[in-house]
Amino acid sequence: MASPQSIHLLFVFTLIVFPLSHSLPFIVLHGIGDQCSNRGVKHFTELLSNYSGSPGYCIEIGGGSWDSWFMPLEGQSAEVCDKVKQMKELRKGYNIVGLSQGNLIGRGVVEFCDDGPPVRNFISLGGPHAGTASVPLCGSGIFCIIADRLLKSEIYSDYVQDHLAPSGYLKLPNDISHYLEKCRFLPKLNNEIPEERNSTYKERFTSLQNLVLVMFEQDNVLIPKETAWFGYYPDGAFKPVMSPQQTNLYTEDWIGLKTLDSAGRVHYVNVSGGHLGISREDMIKHIVPYLKKDRASSVKNKFGRSYTVGGVNGRGMQSNKIKAVPRLKDKESSKVILDGSSMYKLPSSIQSFTMELLGLEEDR
């Protein structure tokens, strides 16, 4: 029979080791024009790991920046689905942190990924969940020309749908019939087509424990900015902007947003800043609490334990070390961590490719 001392030691050992094996990891899905190896996303992932005490992985898709623009979103979601199913670290469940377009890919994983590990919490920063009424980047000469051409006739063509990722969620209120018929990704993701509504997508979406929707007050990339909360324009008009609760997606509960909201599991967050321009203070307040380990894991800290996680692997980039985070000074807490607007600035090679893709000639 085991002695009381050996039982006590076993109990202490269990308290120390067990939480480590049950810490819930998270993945980061970056936005368009970005990639996991970029300094901003890398630093963001590391900070989230350090503040939450949970291991984080940035999941790369294809060639990164290029494929974020030109791989259809169905393909991007399928690739992430395959990767999360292969990661043994995620088998008991994980959380998703989505950045801009990455949120739609993340939702594609939640709704479409068969036999994948369960997603517990979904934290969305600046996600175009209800679509966007403008092609990103209109503002510079070249891209306003591109956007104008797309908006007029090309965006719902098979060719553009096959070659330009944002075409999968461009929703023009004055062309809803073509959007529902030809847009390949968002109508399916949001269960918008009456004869094709899939109860499995709704069931999987409502399995989330928490859905955190962060909207940026000065966001001029998403049109309208309220799409980050599932708000959007009414069919046939560009005004007014409807709240999420006024949309048919919500009132008819196509994907289960109303069900989640009624259960108190949807958290609408409004922060100051431009697209993805989140500060440390807001990150700690609105994101970190949903990534922290469960209450049992706090026992580990009482014993002064810490641990190191691995570096880069073939599936994505992982934060290298979980370490104590010093208390922030006021200036540091308000400092912006990410600059989402910069993600939408294409290299000249991609600009040229896009112009050629759309049959346009750049002015010499």
State the CB neighbour count (10 A cutoff) for residue 322: 20
What average pLDDT does the chain have? 81
Largest CA distance in the chain: 88
pTM: 0.80
Residue 359 pLDDT = 60
Is the pLDDT at 133 greater than 80? The verdict is yes
Mean pLDDT within 105-131: 98
Position 202 confidence tier, pLDDT thresholds 50, 70, 90? very high
- Kindly report, residue by residue over 260-312, the tens digit of the pLDDT: 999 999 999 999 999 999 999 999 999 999 999 653 333 333 323 322 222 23
Print the SS3 string covering the chain.
CCCHHHHHHHHHHHHHHHHHHCCCCEEEECCCCCCCCCHHHHHHHHHHHHHHCCCEEEECCCCCHHHHHHCCHHHHHHHHHHHHHHCHHHCCCEEEEEECCHHHHHHHHHHHCCCCCCEEEEEEECCCCCCECCCCCECEHHHHHHHHHHHHHHCCCHHHHHHCHHHHCECCHHHHHHHHHHCCCHHHHCCCCHHHCCHHHHHHHCCCCEEEEEEECCCCCCCCHHHHHCCECCCCCCCCCECHHHCHHHHCCCCCHHHHHHCCCEEEEEECCCCCCCEHHHHHHHCHHHCCCCHHHHHHHHCCCCCECCCEECCEEECCECCCCCCCCHHHHCCECCCHHHHHCCCHHHHHHHHHHCCCCCCC
Position 66 confidence tier, pLDDT thresholds 50, 70, 90? confident
Give strand pairing partners of 119. Answer: 94
Residue 190 pLDDT = 98
Highest mean pLDDT among 61-65, 158-162, 254-258: 254-258
Q: Residue type for 236, please?
A: G
Q: Which of 286, 271, 167 is nearest to 219 (CA)?
A: 271
First to last CA, the chain: 88
Mean pLDDT within 37-42: 94
Residue 159 pLDDT = 87
Tell how far CA 345 is from the center of its chain.
19
Residue 263, CB half-sphere, CA atoms under 13 Å: how many? 12
CB 237 within 8 A of CB 149: no
Residue 75 pLDDT = 97
Position 107 confidence tier, pLDDT thresholds 50, 70, 90? very high
Mean pLDDT within 156-174: 92
Residue 26 pLDDT = 98
